[in-house]
Structure 1
């Protein structure tokens, strides 16, 4: 025999689960790609190129490509120079650029981004409002351009690709 308390808990759990499933299935995520690459011992070597390959299935939508950087508090610089190259599946360069991102306040040394302990996460725009010329697979390659062989304090680098203007 079921007690009323147990029945109400079970019923509430079923309703909560059904509501959660409905909520998650009704959300449309504008993100089409999101991946991180971790660096051994938090060191990004100058000759290391991080490559992210992702599919694009729409040529009428606009996209935002963003760097996802995780650094430790012992990173020696306030900024990070990055050079990206966007290529199609035939290795034709579509876009290439060097960019600077700021990880710490240059005057105070206070870390930017969200942090927990001595680890900080950042999201920086790489390409905004971009329309891909055709459907297919594209590769976004990134190198660090800090003029040091072994850049310490960078835990990981990621790429997020999302449709612009979608909820």
Structure 2
């Protein structure tokens, strides 16, 4: 396998979107990566959820699943595409976008309070049946279910 092919294979393995590959005069290989470190499948997932382009604002709470650990990140963003680039640079595993709901930081905080027993670290939670059930309920009735659950926990 040639060096450029090996580099392309490694980039693909890590989910990097390659825009251009060039062999420089000194023999080095230059790889230009598109949109930071976000794989095509994550772009496609965001398109399917109707996430606006980078720079367009939409407050939302997102649910991401790490495909290696199975852990689920629950976070808030007002520019989700930009946030995904940031997450991809700091997270080595491939990610699957499970759900996006309209909401703000208080919505995110309420979900974190509800799921506190399953917190792994920071905004990451185990993929237990209870966590997956809450995500499914959020998919069905986003605002009402979270508000009800948060009120009953106080």
TM-score, length of structure 1 as denominator length: 0.28
Larger relative helix fraction? 2
Larger relative strand fraction? 1
Of structures 1 and 2, the one scoring higher in RCO (CA 8 A, sep 6+) is: 1
